[in-house]
Amino acid sequence: MIELKSAGQLEKAIERAKAGSLFVRFVRFRQFRVENRANGRTYNVNFYVRARRRFGHCDCTGGERGLACKHLAAAAAIQTGIAAMRRAH
């Protein structure tokens, strides 16, 4: 699990996500499944808020080592949009 502090922290992961063939599925608020269509693998991504601090976790190899992976970045883009829509209503 990593603490999400800034968009800059995910910069490299965002570039990898854009270059990849990822498909993000919404499971429920703050939970996603991200499929890498290039290799057929699916990863679980979760977001948490604890004491006003934001965290994310992906069960891929990089995520298990506490790195900001492309799966986390792809799901974060969707989560940000969902959260913005919820705030608007």
pLDDT by residue, tens only, the chain of 89 residues: 888 888 788 888 989 998 989 999 999 989 999 999 999 999 999 999 999 999 999 999 999 999 999 999 999 999 888 888 888 87
Tokens of 74: 């792809």
Whether residue 79 contacts residue 36, with contact meaning beta carbons closer than 8 Å, is answered with no
Cβ atoms 63, 13 nearer than 8 A: no
